[in-house]
């Protein structure tokens, strides 16, 4: 075991008021909002990667509240009041993110979004809900006429004027800079092996650091430290094509309850999702590529989006999300020492900062 020096014990390893595990959007937002109420607190954020791992910098950059077919599918499984609550949370979360970091810093583009359909029956069914969801958004957020029927590139579509896009890398750079400016310490490449019951975390290599409170904010990796918390990991796969002159898809788009999503990045096409083709295989927290999912997305891009046959994909990667059974995040105190904030269910951009703010509120109440 590597021993710590006297100097390290008296500086770097002194007890902290708050230790946060996970330097993604939730963990860093929690630190920022906690700092506002405790300007002199010693706050430490730990992340196992050299940059935020998981999904904060590995998502598709959609600033969205969700498609009609996603919400309709959710209504079949739980009460409408819960769907409304999530819709409001996503809407308010996006506004909080934009207000806190600024549209320029996160590369926000209020481009609007389309849900496209390849089957008339499914389109007509979805359109039958437009009036209801417009009333919901009016009552929940004061937004009038959010959804409307449309057509795009030969496909029937439903337009959502509130959808947008961001640059996840720039967003996290801005959040990291903001947190650092407030005197909050971030340690990268530092993996937590265990959380002790006495308010300390054990790091890789045997070092233990004490904290008055510990926040677990590692989303899809939560069960590694807290298997009792019912947040299951889900791997998401994304590809980005080479340059495509005169690309016909400008904006943000989704298909099949949001299981496929695509957008342009300049003259490139980003496409991701498809995990519903291999749900059980993709319920894991290891990065990698599922060839079934990859082939499905490539076929969709060429057959439905009419991607040129010779156009290649220059980038591909995966991210790790965390899902709850109802898509409602787990944000709660477990005991005097520990709080958990996880299970963003694929909507980290929309609700991550709001979840972080709620976690900070719980921590401040102690």
One domain, residues 128 and 146: yes
CATH of the domain at 38: 3.50.50.60
Is position 99 within any domain? no
Does residue 340 form part of some domain?
Answer: yes
Relative orientation angle of helices 120-127 and 68-75, to the nearest 10 degrees: 80
Q: Are 118 and 157 within one domain?
A: yes
For residue range 199-215, list pLDDT tens digits in order: 899 998 778 899 999 99
Find the domain containing 278 and state its range.
112-162+232-323
| pLDDT tens per residue across span 112-161 | 999 999 999 999 999 999 999 999 999 999 999 999 999 999 999 999 99
**What's the pLDDT tens digit per position in 286-304?**
999 999 999 999 999 999 9
Q: Are 245 and 317 part of one and the same domain?
A: yes
8 Å CB contact between 232 and 219? no
pLDDT, mean of residues 45-57: 94
- For the chain, how many structural domains are there in total? 2
Query: What confidence category does residue 2 fall into, taking pLDDT thresholds of 50, 70 and 90?
Result: low
Residue 71 resides in a domain: no
Same domain, 41 and 155: no
List alpha helices for 38-183, DSSP H: 68-75, 80-101, 103-106, 120-127, 130-141, 168-181
**316 and 239 Cβ atoms separated by less than 8 Å:** yes
Lowest mean pLDDT: which of 88-102, 166-180, 189-203, 327-341? 189-203
pTM above 0.85?
Answer: yes
Q: Do 11 and 156 have their domain in common? A: no
Residues 10, 157, single domain; the answer is no
Residue-wise pLDDT tens digits, 229-250: 999 999 999 999 999 998 999 9
At 124, is the secondary structure helix, strand, or coil? helix
Tokens 């999702």 belong to which residue?
273
> Do 132 and 47 share a domain, yes or no?
no
Q: How far apart are CA 82 and CA 198, in angstroms?
A: 36
254 and 131 within one domain: yes
Residue 266: pLDDT band by 50, 70, 90 thresholds?
very high
Give a yes or no: residue 65 inside a domain: no
Q: Is 317 inside any structural domain?
A: yes
Q: Per-residue pLDDT for 184 more than 60?
A: yes
Percent of the chain topping pLDDT 90: 91
Q: At residue 1, does pLDDT exceed 70?
A: no
């Amino acid at each position: 075991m590597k021993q710590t020096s006297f100097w390290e014990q008296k500086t770097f390893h002194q007890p902290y008021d708050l230790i946060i595990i996970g330097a993604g959007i939730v963990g860093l937002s929690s630190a920022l909002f906690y700092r506002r109420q405790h300007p002199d607190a010693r706050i430490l954020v730990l992340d196992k990667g050299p940059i935020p791992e998981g999904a904060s910098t590995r998502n598709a950059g959609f600033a969205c509240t969700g498609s009609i077919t996603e919400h309709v599918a959710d209504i079949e499984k739980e009460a409408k009041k819960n769907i409304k609550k999530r819709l409001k949370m996503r809407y308010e979360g996006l506004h909080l993110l934009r207000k806190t970091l600024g549209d320029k810093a996160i590369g926000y583009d209020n481009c609007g979004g389309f849900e496209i359909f390849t089957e008339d029956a499914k389109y007509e069914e979805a359109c039958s809900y437009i009036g209801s969801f417009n009333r919901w958004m009016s009552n929940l957020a004061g937004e009038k006429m959010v959804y409307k029927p449309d057509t795009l590139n030969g496909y029937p579509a439903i337009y959502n004027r509130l959808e947008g896009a961001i640059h996840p890398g720039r967003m996290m750079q801005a959040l990291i800079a903001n947190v650092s400016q407030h005197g909050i310490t971030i340690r990268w490449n530092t993996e937590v092996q265990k959380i002790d019951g006495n308010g300390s975390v054990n790091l890789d290599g045997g070092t233990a650091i004490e904290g008055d409170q510990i926040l677990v904010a590692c989303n899809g990796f939560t069960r590694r430290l807290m298997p009792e918390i019912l947040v299951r990991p889900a791997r998401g796969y994304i590809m980005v094509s080479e340059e495509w002159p005169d690309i016909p898809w400008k904006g943000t788009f989704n298909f099949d309850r949001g299981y496929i999503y695509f957008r342009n990045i300049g003259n490139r096409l980003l496409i991701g999702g498809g995990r519903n083709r291999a749900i059980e295989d993709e319920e894991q927290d290891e990065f990698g590529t599922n060839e079934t999912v990859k082939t499905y997305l490539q076929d969709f891009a060429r057959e439905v989006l009419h991607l040129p046959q010779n156009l290649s994909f220059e980038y591909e990667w995966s991210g790790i999300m965390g899902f709850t059974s109802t898509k409602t995040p787990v944000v709660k105190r477990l005991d005097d020492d520990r709080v958990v904030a996880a299970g963003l269910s694929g909507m980290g951009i929309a609700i991550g900062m709001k979840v972080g703010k709620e976690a900070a509120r719980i921590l401040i109440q102690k």
